[in-house]
Amino acid sequence: MTTDVESLARTRLAEVAEGVAPDALDPDAEMAYEYGLTSLKKVMLVTALCAETGVDLGSFTEDDLARLNTLRDLVDVLTHHLPQGA
């Protein structure tokens, strides 16, 4: 399932990172610096991904949210909170 989450996260990040193809995204790049992800866009991205993956946004801790700096971080946190059996 991690691959599916990563693929979905890449697609959604590419939509807000305008001009960057999903397969060109560096999983370890700082999303704010490399792709211009503002705080508002980050909230919209995380909210959309939670809705699409069935992850309850309320299950995220402050630490989870604070460490969402890279695509890899985002995929790791989402995968950790996936509903059982997903």
Residue 85 in any domain: the answer is no
Q: In the numeric block, which tokens belong to residue 85?
A: 């059996």
Residue 8 in any domain: the answer is yes
DSSP bridge pairs for 30: 70
Domain holding 73: CATH number? Answer: 1.10.1200.10
85: left (phi over 0), alpha (psi -120 to 50) or beta: left
pLDDT in tens, 66-77: 999 999 999 999
Residue 72 in any domain: the answer is yes
pLDDT at 84: 77
Burial of 21 (0-12, 13-18, 19+ CB in 10 A): exposed
Residue 86 in any domain: the answer is no
Residue 46 in any domain: the answer is yes
Structural domain of 34: 2-80
Domain tally for the chain?
Answer: 1
Residue 17 in any domain: the answer is yes
Which has the higher per-residue pLDDT, 86 or 48?
Answer: 48
